[in-house]
Amino acid sequence: MSNATEMKFLIVDDFSTMRRIVRNLLKEIGYNNADEAEDGIAALSKLRGGNFDFVVSDINMPNMNGFELLKQIRADEQLKGLPVLMVTAEAKKEDIVTAAQAGANGYIVKPFTKATLEEKVLKIVQKFAK
């Protein structure tokens, strides 16, 4: 993983407003390097083409949802070690269990605060730095 502040994030969400919100929040937290994808398919394409260090993904998206993206990442030899934080409106317990079983490293339910995002991101970054 890159030096913490130079880490490259991929923000995956079908709503551009939410991608901008997450991108701006990451900037405020100290992470300036971020790219965006509108669904799982676009995300996989970008992940395979660039050196990303962290994925922040929505779940409910057209074409390929966040669960499927997570499974594909974990099944990919090149990408399987990437930290993935789910940021989603899906608040059902079964969804959280599904995400955990599929290998998510964190789960944030929308609406969320800057403090929540910062806490989860830092926790994952610290865990992966060990």
Partner 1 sequence: MNASASPASTLVDSHAAIGIDMDSTAYDVFQRIGVITRRLHDALHELGYDKTLETAVDSLPDARARLAYIAKLTGDSANKVLNTVEFARATQDAMSSGAKELKARWNGKTSQTLNGPDGEVLITDTCEFLGSLPLSTDLTNNHLTDIMLAQDFHDLTGQVIRKVVDLAQTLEEQLLALLLETTPPERRAKLLSTDVGFLSGPAINVDGRTDIVTSQSQVDDMLESLGF
17 sits near partner 1 (criterion: CB under 8 A): yes
State both tokens at 20. 């901008």
114 sits near partner 1 (criterion: CB under 8 A): yes
Interface region with partner 1, contact rule CB under 8 A, candidates 9-17, 32-40, 77-85, 118-126? 9-17
Among 75, 89, 100, 122, binds partner 1 (CB under 8 A): 89
Interface region with partner 1, contact rule CB under 8 A, candidates 39-47, 76-84, 93-101, 110-118? 110-118
**Alpha carbon of 63 to those of 5, 33, 44, 48, 66: distances in Å?**
32, 26, 12, 18, 10
State both tokens at 67. 């669960």
Q: Which of 26, 66, 60 is nearest to 43 (CA)?
A: 66
How far apart CA 20 and CA 35 sit, in angstroms, is 10
Which residues in this chain contact partner 1 in the complex, by CB under 8 A? 13, 15, 17-18, 21, 24-25, 28, 60, 89, 110-114
